[in-house]
């Protein structure tokens, strides 16, 4: 039988992995921002974001709803744009 504590420990491990992956993504996003600045491109690319969201919603097998997937990734995109605009890594708020 799975216990509440056991499930929470599994969630904690997944959260740690998610954080690692999000920081890797953020690092790549900073690098993308540098290239965009060098090429004079805007930080925001709505068509790219829409395409990524469509792909992710299509690939999601649940239990997250399409709306939840969009909300989560729009938040990730917003934070990525902030990193791209600043051009630097930040560990402080």
Number of domains, the chain: 1
For residue 41, being part of any structural domain is answered with: yes
pTM of the model: 0.87
For residue 59, being part of any structural domain is answered with: yes
Rounded Cα gap, residues 13 and 25, in angstroms: 19
Q: What is the CATH number of the domain that holds 82?
A: 1.20.59.10
For residue 92, being part of any structural domain is answered with: no
Domain that holds residue 18: 4-86
For residue 10, being part of any structural domain is answered with: yes
Digit-coded pLDDT (tens) for 10-34: 999 999 999 999 999 999 999 999 9
Digit-coded pLDDT (tens) for 35-71: 999 999 999 999 999 999 999 999 999 999 999 999 9
- Residue bearing tokens 């790219």: 48
For residue 93, being part of any structural domain is answered with: no
């Amino acid at each position: 039988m799975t216990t509440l504590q056991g499930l929470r420990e599994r969630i904690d491990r997944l959260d740690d992995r998610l954080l690692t992956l999000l920081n890797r993504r953020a690092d790549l996003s900073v690098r993308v921002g540098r290239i965009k600045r060098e090429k004079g491109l805007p930080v925001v690319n709505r068509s790219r974001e829409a395409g990524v969201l469509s792909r992710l919603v299509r690939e999601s097998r649940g239990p997250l709803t399409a709306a939840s997937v969009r909300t989560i990734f729009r938040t990730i995109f917003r934070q990525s744009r902030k990193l791209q605009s600043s051009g630097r890594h930040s560990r402080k708020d």
